[in-house]
Amino acid sequence: MSVFSILRTKAVCLKEFKHIFRDPFTLMMALVLPFLIVIILGYSIEFNIKYIDLAYMDHDKTESSRKLIETFGSSNYFKPFEVETPGQGIDYLIAEKAKMFLMIPPQFEKEIMAGRTGNIQILLDGADNAAVSSIMNYLNSIHTHAISKILNVAQTDHPLLSIKTRYLFNPELSSQWFSIPGIAAIIIALVSIMLTTLTICREWEQGSMEMLLTTPVKSSEIVIGKLFPYAILSFGGFLIVFAVAKLLFKVPFVGNFGVLLLGTMLFILGYLALGLLISVISHEQQVAVQYAALIGLMPTSLFSGVFFPVEYMAPVFQAIASMFPARFYVEIVRDQFLKGSSLADLWQPFVVLGLQFMILSLACVFKFKRTLE
């Protein structure tokens, strides 16, 4: 008997394809679930905070104070509304009816027109540090616009230094442009690991896997034969996510589609091998789902860099993140959507994805050998 037989591997592939097309649940998980998840997460995730409730109290009641408040309201970042007393403004902050309280003191216009500093007091709800960071960034821009309105001069007339900022790769700072390519990694990981984990565990429970292991088919042929059909199915799910990102969310794609396809296939194969390894170890669907959530899905969400930048994590968590393919695939998919680097520039994540797939595949083959009796 030969070491590796393409005919036996092909037979396992055909058997798995027939199993897939006879199982509507598998097809729905691979093709419908990615579409639903990208729609839900694409519309729900928003990093740019807008329409912040701003309570204000104007003690000055002058044209300058009104222009200051108008500047906040016209920015589309704030929704100003007036309160009667400082205590009421504090109460609104405590009750979370306002994120920010602005108090303009008397003599505000007089101080500015005399060439002195016009002071105002701003109180922020610091419980949400992400919102505070965004508000502070907005205040820097509003400060410049407010001075121009109040003094009735062009913005470039009074500063000694004029700074013009240009954002590369995502000029509109769109949250969807940044988040949806990362969400694609989570969706593909979810679909890939669940496909092999659930379907193969079902074979263990029904007894068909034991029958396959008693045939002359070798462990390596089983692994390859089972990975290939689910790789094609998972790749179909990726194409659906890609189409939704382009057509519905208008996410630009400036990279090389071939580079993205290569990275996607390595990523899919890695998570399919991980799901296959879990199914080989557990043999039961309930246990396998727990393992998949604990080993695959939670680390993919937390350590992939989709929501939290990996480079800002503690070194020990950066090391943990590097153990999972999603950490490197997110780098590839975001780059290809927004930057368009070449394969030579991205060789490191590609090499790591390839090594991870090889290690997981060899682990599957080794475990299959141990279960053969």
Contact assessment for residue 259 and residue 339, using Cβ atoms and an 8 Å cutoff: no
Q: Where are the domains of the chain?
A: 6-45+174-371, 52-151
Contact assessment for residue 187 and residue 34, using Cβ atoms and an 8 Å cutoff: yes
The token duo for 207 is: 């007894």
Instruction: Check residue 262 and give its pLDDT.
Output: 95
Mean pLDDT (the chain, rounded): 84
- Please give the Cα distance from 235 to 206 (Å, whole number): 27
Q: Is the pLDDT of residue 197 over 90?
A: no
Instruction: Check residue 216 and give its pLDDT.
Output: 82
Tell me which of 116 and 193 has the higher pLDDT: 193
1 confidence band (pLDDT: 50, 70, 90): very low
The string of pLDDT tens digits covering residues 267-304 is: 999 999 998 888 888 878 888 888 888 877 778 888 88
Instruction: Check residue 5 and give its pLDDT.
Output: 85
Instruction: Check residue 236 and give its pLDDT.
Output: 92
Tell me the backbone φ, ψ of residue 81, rounded to 5 degrees: -145, 145
Instruction: Check residue 155 and give its pLDDT.
Output: 47
CATH 3.20.20.210 for domain 52-151, yes or no, is: no
The least confident of 72-81, 127-136, 214-223, 256-265 is 127-136
